[in-house]
Structure 1
Amino acid sequence: MKIVLEPIGIIRTPFKKAKDAPRQAAEALMYTAVAEIFPPYREALEGLDSFPWVVLIYFLHRTGGRGDLKGVFSTRSPHRPNPLGVAVVELLEVKEDSIRFRGVDMLDGTPLLDIKPYYPTLVPSAPPPPEEPKAQIAPPPPLTPGRQ
């Protein structure tokens, strides 16, 4: 079976290298980014502004291989059989061709595959997940003029 996915947009962030990016979106609420949506998908943004949080699904295009798979399904490691990233981010603004959000752990140029509204009530009785070891967060890189 072959699965082909088309990106719906590109995520623009201040992080050019993996070593500079935070390890988890929840630990990166001080950073904002913009997802530029490609023309065929722009009308799909209608109504999204009524959600304060959204789920971004993106392709981890610069992971550099799978690495050791043992136990990978119990981690958020980018080295996976299918390099997909998922982040719940705070939606700050919806324009006709983009969204601006807070909670950035993606690299600049990351292909965006989908956006879904976040509903915390979908699993109201779910226990909290086990705590992952805290990652070291690199100091923020200087922002490119014109980007926030």
Structure 2
Amino acid sequence: MPNDQYQYESIGVIRTPFESPEGMPIQPAGADTVEGTVEVRESYADGLQDLSGFSHCILLYHFHAAADTASLQVEPFLDNEKRGVFATRAPQRPNQIGLSVVEIASITSPEVTVRGIDVVDETPLLDIKPFVPDFDVPADVDTGWLNASKSTIKSKQADERFL
């Protein structure tokens, strides 16, 4: 059986205007004009080489402001019914790993300025990956229970379910 315990080191920090989860957009679609800065540790700055050729990137991070208690059934932001946590983007997860696809505004190593950021200030950064539509956007997609319109997603903000 493979090792079931892993340890990661933050490669940097995400800086945003959101001091707490309260009132924060719940997805990048609701934060399209919000700018933030991804501050990569100097020891990882060389990894930013060639990222400037991409318009967007995927940020993987640790939900440091979410409660440490994971639940396998959660009430997601866009629904009033309990759903399986793996069918949601809720932060209360067995491994509190989040992801956001953001627009790259500029890169001045070791910092990346991004738009569409939906995380709390000082969120620990785990990884950055380029967003590649041919890899990351399947042709035929079903969204399960989620039938929210784009305007609904843009208007939703974090509430006590995020804490």
The one of 110, 120, 125 equivalent to 2:139 is 125
Q: How does 1:1-148 map to 2 (within 5 A)?
A: 1-70=4-73, 71-122=84-135, 123-127=137-141, 129-130=143-144, 131=146, 133=148, 134=152, 136-137=156-157
Q: Structure 1 stretches of 5 or more lacking a match?
A: 139-148
Q: Please report how far the alpha carbon of residue 104 of structure 1 lies from its aligned counterpart in structure 2 after TM superposition.
A: 1.3
Alignment-mate amino acid for residue 8 of structure 1: I
Pairwise CA distance, 1:129: 2.8
The whole-number CA distance in structure 2 between the counterparts of 1:96 and 1:63 is: 29
* Matched letter for residue 137 of structure 1: Q
Number of residue pairs matched? 138
Percent of matched pairs sharing the same residue: 36
Gaps of 5+ in 2: 74-83, 159-163
Q: Any runs of at least 4 consecutive aligned residues in structure 1 with deviations exceeding 4 A, and if so which? A: none
| Counterparts of 2:131 and 2:60, CA distance in 1 | 12
> Structure 2-normalised TM-score?
0.78
Seen in structure 2, the aligned counterparts of structure 1 residues 21 and 132 have a Cα distance that, compared at 3 Å, is farther
CA deviations 1:80-100 (Å, max 9, x no partner) are 000001011001101111100
**TM-aligned CA deviation for residue 26 of structure 1:** 1.6
1:83 maps to amino acid: Q
Q: Secondary structure at the match of 1:27?
A: helix
